[in-house]
Amino acid sequence: MTDVNAGAAQLLAGRRILVTGGARGLGLAFARHFCEAGAAVAIADIRAELVESAAVGLRASGFTAHALVADLSEPASIERCAGEALALLGGLDGLVNNAAVTDSGGKPGDDIDVETWDRVMNVNVRGTWL
């Protein structure tokens, strides 16, 4: 039987990838898998301490990982994050727009206040578009 993971260890060798929402959950899992496949990563998140801790953990495993703080609801923060990622990694080959606000907690639409709605839309829709 063929091992589908054979050769995957270097599938992304030399590639440079920025992952937003990379401090935990799916974003961190994506970043770890990219590293395991040979990529260098920059992980961005609004949570400064968590994203730094995540990058430290990846580096402790022998991977190239950089932490960036970014607020995807702010265009200037997005531009700064992209510029820092380009500088740290020497370019970019991939982007995973994973960051999202999930404060709505599965509430029905009429139970979500305007401030929460705006925060969710600014990050999840507008931030990805920017």
Can you give the pLDDT of all 130 residues of the chain as single tens digits?
A: 445 555 666 899 999 999 999 999 999 999 999 999 999 999 999 999 999 999 999 999 999 999 999 998 899 999 999 999 999 999 999 999 988 777 666 667 777 788 877 877 777 777 767 6
Domain ranges of the chain: 12-129
**In Å, what is the CA distance from 28 to each residue of 21, 53, 57, 70, 78?**
8, 11, 10, 15, 19
Q: What is the pLDDT of residue 91?
A: 98
Q: What is the pLDDT of residue 59?
A: 98
Q: What is the pLDDT of residue 118?
A: 80
Q: What is the pLDDT of residue 5?
A: 57
Surface-to-core class of residue 74, CB atoms within 10 Å of its CB (0-12 exposed, 13-18 middle, 19+ buried): middle
DSSP 57-98: HHHHTT--EEEEE--TT-HHHHHHHHHHHHHHHTS-SEEE--
Closest CA to 81 of 18, 14, 30, 129: 18
- Count the residues in the chain: 130
Return the CATH number of the domain spanning residue range 12-129.
3.40.50.720
> CA triplet 6, 41, 38: central angle to 5 degrees?
20
